[in-house]
Amino acid sequence: MALTDARTREEEQERRHLAETVHRLTTELEHLTGYIDKSARTIEEKKEHLWANLRDMDFAEKANFRHEVDLSVLSAEHAAMRRKRIERLLESPYFGRVDFHARGDAGGGAYYIGVHNFSDPATQEILIHDWRAPVSGLFYDFESGAAFFETPEGTAHGEITGKRQYKIVGGRLEYMLDSSLNIGDDVLQRELSQSADDRMKNIVATIQREQNAVIRNETARVLILQGVAGSGKTSIALHRVAFLLYRFKDTLSSDNVMILSPNRVFGDYIADVLPELGEQQTAEIDFDRIAGTFLAEVADYETFGEQVVKLIENVDEAAAERMRHKATPEFVTDLDAWITSRADEEFTPAEIKQKHHRLPAEWVAETFDESRNLPVFTRLDHLANRAVYLLKQQVLDRGHKWAAADTAGVRRQVRAMFPHKDALAMYKAFYQDPDRRGMFKPLGRKKIEYADVFPLIYTMIRTARQENYGHIRHLLVDEMQDYTPIQYAVLRELFSCTMTILGDSNQSVNPFSSSSLSTIHNIFPEADCLELCKSYRSTTEITNFAQNISRNDKLVPIERHGLPPQVIACTDQRDQQARILTLIEQHSRSEHRSLGIICKTVTQAKTLHHALSEAGVEPTFLDYDSTAFAGGIVLTSAHIAKGLEFDTVIVPHADEENYTTEMDRCMLYIACTRAMHELHLTHHGPLSRFLEFAEEPRSRIVDTETAESHDHAADARVS
Ligand SMILES: Nc1ncnc2c1ncn2[C@@H]1O[C@H](COP(=O)(O)OP(=O)(O)OP(=O)(O)O)[C@@H](O)[C@H]1O
């Protein structure tokens, strides 16, 4: 009874504290709104004054006046940004509290932690600490007892006497929980059992200790993060970007951060996380866009998506061999050495003659030699420019004319000293070597295979000066396993900044050209490598099911239970469609929001989309041309679904014919690991070999009344 009283009293105190915080936030919001309105009026008046008196003002007065207007606009913008943050805080002012008694300090204090800092403007007292502030590390990194955090004056040691977590929605306390341990399991369970939002959401309130270590790593120039499916890699990487923006705010802004994502749908899916954390959206890029920038005027090329389609739908052994060859680190070393030696081996200095004036071959050799450290085509341009300058000088000195045709003539002679006309010609010549014969196979007259796209871009970068991303100071690379060493070599040339590189070697979409953790580490030997092994996305049942498809002994599933995955045997194609329609119908009646129907290929997804549309269901169809993610019911391929998640997933065509190769196994694994709460697989004909384990009676549910299994699941599910 006494305990309940104490608890009630504490809750009462917390409610009062919340009300007080909301009051102070509201006061500040009103103040800012007043300030912004007043600024808007002042700016308007100043502009009108400027227009009215423009003629009477001299240059200095006008400049002064404009400067004043600019300053007012800047200050109003700052206030508007601050107002946005206050509005966000009013929704949920804080999610955690840690009571810390610093050693030698009699008082000690309660630190409330939220998505932003908030200080009372009157007293400057910090009422809410930003989750990224050093003191907030206490909340994520320590249990009760001895703890420390860094302050500008040094390390503050002391003791944590209590930790509390809150769920505040719309400014109202939904619940609070005391937790002496790390972020309480209860809160995490509640968060994980919720339905998926349309987009990826922030997880600040429940960041786990091992995840926090990744987020707050300040020292790594390159950080490689290997994490099992659903371990929070992408979420953590985005929180890390938010942390770095906070920690290095004087030198790093969102304009200097870039995210290299697998495709635009994924880019759109994660687009809300940084703004939710109070940061601006960063620029986003993918390898297809890098290819577009470099090759638009050079060659037509197969895209990554087209290559995946080709591989899944019809594996061409010779093409696979070419891919394998170009996906090795040795290939990069070979190509690099070959490019580097071209100038020495193939440049033949010769005399340059123009308008009866000459530059001897020795001069040519010496001049070419002076620019040794530059790429070969840049060296040729330098040489030609010097030759044009000298010869033109001599011609003009004699009183003759120098025409554009003379400049072109000199350039032609210089270019003739090197056998390759451009990077593409040079790249093709690389394959003249008998050891490499057959390794280059264009698709038609001017189109190159995807496997040649980045070797060619690398050749371009190494042979002539190219634009790079010099303004980018941090690059985040997601799905690292899908990029080859040559792609990393291109990244190294284009970005000379710190990087966070993350992925999962179990989720490669192309077994012929994927990179293992050790390969990537060899490319970035200076990198810190961290690993996340706990999987948070799916129920234990779904994770265990996926583990049977592709085992990863390091994976630790989170204890959260739900319906066992269903494998539904259908009598024919029509029956399969009917079953899928029933599952969609069940989903729409359930508490779940998002449903992903994930086929192996885009072609299969398209066919199913057509059939479902005819039956009156209109899921959002995502293919390689899609640029935005959509909530609700989504129909797509495993490759495109990568990185996404859904409350419920249906995997159609789980038969032996469809899922039979190692590549198919990857696709099946990716599709199944997209499910958070429910997973259903349908098939007609023999079940895929990768699902043989599911044929055992306990895990396989064939022709059962689905409602019954739902009831069973409800019992097992943790609420
Ligand atoms: N600490 C956490 N608190 C709450 N939710 C979490 C936490 N860590 C991960 N999650 C949830 O787990 C799910 C998976 O996260 P995320 O997509 O970032 O993982 P991933 O490792 O990139 O997955 P995959 O490689 O399979 O695409 C998300 O719903 C995310 O919100």
Q: CA 489 to CA 326: how far, in whole Å?
A: 12
Q: CA 240 to CA 238: how far, in whole Å?
A: 5
Question: Given this model, what pLDDT does residue 718 score?
Answer: 24
3-class secondary structure, 69:
helix
**Cα pseudo-dihedral 546, 548, 554, 556, rounded to 10:** 50
Alpha-carbon distances, residue 3 vs 9, 514, 684 (angstroms): 10, 58, 60
Is 232 assigned a ligand-binding role in the annotation?
Answer: yes
Which single residue is written with the structure tokens 């012929």?
512
- Any residues with CB less than 8 A from the CB of 624 and at least 6 apart, and which? 263, 303, 305, 306, 602, 640
Q: CA 234 to CA 228: how far, in whole Å?
A: 11
Is 230 assigned a ligand-binding role in the annotation?
Answer: yes
Calculate ∠ Cα 505-506-510, nearest 5°. Answer: 80
Ligand 1 centroid – CA 230 distance (Å): 5
Alpha-carbon distances, residue 421 vs 361, 414, 428 (angstroms): 20, 11, 11
The two structure tokens encoding residue 69: 């207007």
CA atoms within 13 A on the CB side of 132: 24
The two structure tokens encoding residue 255: 């304009």
Q: Is the CB of 645 under 6 A from ligand 1?
A: yes
Q: CA 528 to CA 520: how far, in whole Å?
A: 11
Nearest to 546 by CA among 701, 681, 704: 681
Is 459 assigned a ligand-binding role in the annotation?
Answer: no
Confidence (pTM):
0.88
- Any residues with CB less than 8 A from the CB of 528 and at least 6 apart, and which? 217, 219, 220, 222, 223, 224
Q: CA 208 to CA 211: how far, in whole Å?
A: 5
| Amino acid at site 467 | E
The two structure tokens encoding residue 664: 């198919």
3-class secondary structure, 252:
coil
Ligand 1 centroid – CA 212 distance (Å): 13
Q: Is the CB of 558 under 6 A from ligand 1?
A: no
Q: CA 258 to CA 543: how far, in whole Å?
A: 32
Nearest to 332 by CA among 458, 511, 180, 432: 458
Give the DSSP per-residue string, 135-204. GGHHHHH--SEEEEEEETTEEEEEEEEEEEEEEEETTEEEEEEE-SSSS-HHHHHHHHTSPP-SS----G
Q: Is the CB of 227 under 6 A from ligand 1?
A: yes
Alpha-carbon distances, residue 374 vs 278, 380, 455 (angstroms): 43, 10, 19
Ligand 1 centroid – CA 225 distance (Å): 14
The CB density around residue 541, as the number of other CB atoms within 10 Å, is: 22
Ligand 1 centroid – CA 603 distance (Å): 29
> For atom 18 of ligand 1, which residue has the closest CA?
232
Ligand 1 centroid – CA 231 distance (Å): 5
The two structure tokens encoding residue 493: 């040339």
Q: Respond yes or no on whether ipTM tops 0.90.
A: yes
Which atom of ligand 1 is nearest to 643's Cα? 27
Is 438 assigned a ligand-binding role in the annotation?
Answer: no
236-293 pLDDT per residue, tens: 999 999 999 999 999 999 999 999 988 888 888 999 899 888 888 899 999 999 999 9
Mutate to test the pocket of ligand 1, among 514, 532, 537 (most ligand atoms within 8 A of CB): 537
Question: Given this model, what pLDDT does residue 187 score?
Answer: 74
Mutate to test the pocket of ligand 1, among 209, 212, 231, 272 (most ligand atoms within 8 A of CB): 231
Q: Is the CB of 182 under 6 A from ligand 1?
A: no
Question: Given this model, what pLDDT does residue 339 score?
Answer: 96
Quote the radius of gyration of the chain (alpha carbons, Å): 31
The CB density around residue 220, as the number of other CB atoms within 10 Å, is: 17
DSSP β-ladder status, 352-354 and 357-359: antiparallel
Regions in the chain scoring below 50 on pLDDT = 1, 697-719
Q: Provide the CA 440 distance to its chain's centre, in angstroms.
A: 31
Q: Is the CB of 192 under 6 A from ligand 1?
A: yes
Ligand 1 centroid – CA 536 distance (Å): 6
Ligand 1 centroid – CA 644 distance (Å): 10
Which atom of ligand 1 is nearest to 532's Cα? 21
The 8-class DSSP code of residue 281 comes to: P
Sign of the Cα torsion 316, 317, 320, 325 reads: negative
Q: CA 141 to CA 59: how far, in whole Å?
A: 59
Ligand 1 centroid – CA 568 distance (Å): 28
Question: Given this model, what pLDDT does residue 201 score?
Answer: 87
Q: CA 548 to CA 545: how far, in whole Å?
A: 5
For 299-312, what is the HEC assignment?
CEECCHHHHHHHHH
Q: Is the CB of 536 under 6 A from ligand 1?
A: yes
The CB density around residue 707, as the number of other CB atoms within 10 Å, is: 9
27-56 pLDDT per residue, tens: 999 999 998 999 888 888 888 887 888 788
Ligand 1 centroid – CA 146 distance (Å): 30
> For atom 12 of ligand 1, which residue has the closest CA?
537
Task: For 580, list phi and psi in degrees, rounded to 5.
Answer: -65, -40
Q: Is the CB of 208 under 6 A from ligand 1?
A: yes
Nearest to 160 by CA among 201, 234, 110: 110
Is 227 assigned a ligand-binding role in the annotation?
Answer: yes
Helix count and strand count (H, E) for the chain: 25, 25
Mutate to test the pocket of ligand 1, among 191, 203, 540 (most ligand atoms within 8 A of CB): 203
Is 444 assigned a ligand-binding role in the annotation?
Answer: no
The CB density around residue 74, as the number of other CB atoms within 10 Å, is: 10
**Are residues 125 and 165 in contact, defined by beta-carbon separation less than 8 angstroms?**
no
Q: CA 62 to CA 64: how far, in whole Å?
A: 5
Q: CA 461 to CA 451: how far, in whole Å?
A: 17
Question: Given this model, what pLDDT does residue 95 score?
Answer: 94
Question: Given this model, what pLDDT does residue 51 score?
Answer: 81
Total count of residues recorded for the chain: 719
Q: CA 217 to CA 240: how far, in whole Å?
A: 8
Q: CA 279 to CA 85: how far, in whole Å?
A: 10
Q: Is the CB of 233 under 6 A from ligand 1?
A: yes
| Amino acid at site 676 | M
